[in-house]
A and B are shown apart, each in its own frame.
Chain A
Amino acid sequence: MTWYDFLVQNRAEVWARSVEHIGLVAASMAIALAIGLPLGIAIVGRAALRRWVIGTANVVQTIPSLALFGFLIPVPWIGGVGASTAIVALALYALLPILSNTSTGIAEVDPAVVEAARGMGMTPGQVLWHVQLPLAAPVLLAGIRVATVLCIGITTIAAAIGAGGLGVFIFRGVAMVNNSVILAGAIPAAFLAIAADVALGLFERSIARR
């Protein structure tokens, strides 16, 4: 049986796992954005804090994903086996590209433009919202795109701690020594990653053109 036949025969489960997969990515991206955007804005112009925050996010990034999932299982409240642990770990991975692109994007906005905005009497909130964020948007979106693609990939490993998603097929296939089952998870996961990359890339370009 080829991977395609397996996919067609098990389309209900593949569909359900895909939805689960997207749900994990969406939940972790939501957390990463909720933390990463404000924190990324807050560290602009504060060199010491920025080094510390980006450094920490960098260290998290270097932990192998399976190890990070493992580390988090014994942690009370967020830990345990299942989706919540996976979402926390995925959010930690997504944090670095969002943080660094938000802060560099804003820091790279032409200082003359920011100074004119302040000098014309915009409040700090108005400068951020009407000037810095729109001008940093392409860089910021590039960070979100990298984080999303990264997250879709690492989510396949989350199946190892019982979080579900398309990784379930991959681990099952490995256990069964059955390539068709592995591919039935791997190919849709790769497709999701490429689709997200292309869609966010197009969005990025439409923003940059405006």
Chain B
Amino acid sequence: MTYRLRSGASIISGLNLQVPPGETLVLLGRSGSGKTTVLKLINRLLEPTEGEIFVAGRPSRSWDPIQLRRGIGYVIQDAGLFPHWTVERNIALVPRLERWPEERAQARVREMMSLVGLPPEEFAGRRPSALSGGQKQRVGVARALAADPPILLMDEPFGALDPITRADLQKEFRALATRLQKTIVFVTHDVREALFLGTRIALLNQGRLVGVYAPAEFLKATEPEIHEFVASLEAGGLREEAQ
């Protein structure tokens, strides 16, 4: 799978990036670096001004955008759950849009709920308003995985959670990603999260790609922008030692 895109309007400039199947690529960057824009370009919520994006070897422009999106799981920061639907209906969204037989859709919902650690008998009938932040994100992940898409886009999915819940979900998600072998593009501004979850880390700065490294090399990379991120990590470590 290849993404190539170039937008003149400087949100993303001259980005050339490949994500091989089964990889978790983390897009790391500060706010406004264009990380979220890259995700929206992949599922065609936005269209590149210049250049091309290839999804599964096909130019994304040649896909029907609706079909493309149904084949790409999408998880966003506040989960974006439908507040007027139960957990069950939220998770069954894409299977039902794709007109799966009802029994298969329901079986799939139960399977997904168990996968993300939410007992169906307790949570299936709840509204999102009756869930904690961590539970909402679990539902968001279950909804994204429900139709078994080969690709998953995650936009700071754990960003709004408390540190302990976040650590739990990160651990579970890493195990899940290894097991499911999905191609994942994961956006975050948290360098620890990037190091923990990424097969590779791509640092974006003001719409430009600074570098792409595996976590071990990322720590040793010489680019000043990357160094800043790594230094912030060390400063955090020092503070923890001092306490």
Contact = CB atoms under 8 A, between A and B. Distances in A.
B83 A120 contact: no
Interface of B: 40, 43, 45, 66-71, 74, 76-84, 93-94, 97, 143-144, 153
A120 B76 CA distance: 11
22 contacts: A110-B80, A112-B76, A112-B79, A113-B81, A115-B45, A116-B74, A116-B81, A116-B82, A117-B80, A117-B82, A119-B40, A119-B43, A120-B93, A120-B144, A121-B68, A121-B69, A121-B70, A121-B71, A122-B93, A126-B97, A135-B84, A210-B84
Contacts of B71: 121
Contacts of A201: none
A132 to B, nearest CB: 11
A121 B79 CA distance: 16
A113 B83 contact: yes
Given A115-B76, A119-B76, A121-B97, A134 B84 contact: yes
By Cβ-Cβ distance, the 3 closest A-B pairs, closest first, are A116-B80, A121-B70, A121-B69
A131 B80 contact: no
A121 B67 contact: yes
Contacts of A110: 80, 83
Nearest to A114: B80
Interface in A86-139: 110, 112-113, 115-123, 126, 130-131, 134-135
A67 to B, nearest CB: 43
Contact of B83 (A118, A123, A126, A135): A135
Nearest to A210: B84
A190 to B, nearest CB: 35
B66 A131 contact: no
A173 B66 CA distance: 64
A104 to B, nearest CB: 18
A110 to B, nearest CB: 8
Contacts of A131: 82
A123 to B, nearest CB: 6
Given A112-B76, A120-B93, 18 more contacts: A110-B83, A112-B77, A112-B78, A113-B81, A115-B76, A116-B80, A118-B45, A119-B40, A119-B43, A119-B45, A119-B80, A120-B69, A120-B144, A121-B66, A121-B67, A121-B69, A122-B97, A131-B82
Nearest to B153: A119
Contacts of B66: 121-123
Contacts of A121: 66-71, 94, 97
Contact of B94 (A112, A120, A130, A134): A120
A129 to B, nearest CB: 12
A141 to B, nearest CB: 14
B77 A119 contact: no
Given A112-B76, A112-B77, A112-B78, A118 B69 contact: yes
B80 A113 contact: yes
B76 to A, nearest CB: 6
Contacts of A115: 45, 76, 80
B31 to A, nearest CB: 16
Contacts of A122: 66, 93, 97
Contacts of A134: 84
A120 B146 CA distance: 11
B28 to A, nearest CB: 21
A123 B93 CA distance: 12
A16 to B, nearest CB: 43
